[in-house]
């Protein structure tokens, strides 16, 4: 099973689709979680996910807004989609009876 940050990265990349590359994924993670994401953690995790066969990466076109540098593009593999779905479903199952997951239940947070 993937870890929490791996899941967040996979989800951000899937959400961005064809626009998924390092800086955009980082911005997506930070805006949706409200947490800072270091470039080092991001690329270390991308490398790990790629070695597990959960994402594929390639160098995109060089762009003028990046000073002529190419973007490292990211796309989920079918195995990456499965791993993200498995993590999501596990969280749903384990949370099912938690007080914050049950509407109208006494003791909700």
**CA 68, CA 66: separation in Å to the nearest integer?**
5
pLDDT tens per residue, range 65-97: 767 888 999 999 999 999 999 999 999 999 988
Alpha-carbon 90 to chain mean position:
16
* pTM: predicted TM-score of the whole model, two decimal places: 0.87
Q: Are the C-beta atoms of 36 and 30 separated by less than 8 Å?
A: yes
Task: Give the CA-trace dihedral at 93, 97, 101, 105, to 10 degrees.
Answer: 160
pLDDT attached to residue 44: 98
């Amino acid at each position: 099973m993937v870890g929490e940050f791996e899941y967040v990265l996979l989800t951000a990349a899937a959400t961005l689709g064809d626009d998924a590359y390092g800086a955009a994924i980082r911005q997506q993670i930070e805006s949706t979680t409200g947490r800072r994401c270091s470039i080092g953690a991001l690329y270390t995790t991308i490398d790990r996910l790629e070695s597990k066969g959960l994402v594929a990466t390639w160098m995109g076109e060089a762009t003028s807004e990046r000073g002529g540098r190419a973007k490292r593009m990211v796309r989920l593999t079918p195995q990456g989609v499965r791993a993200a779905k498995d993590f999501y479903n596990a969280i749903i199952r384990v949370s099912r009876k938690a007080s914050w997951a049950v509407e109208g239940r006494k003791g909700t947070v």
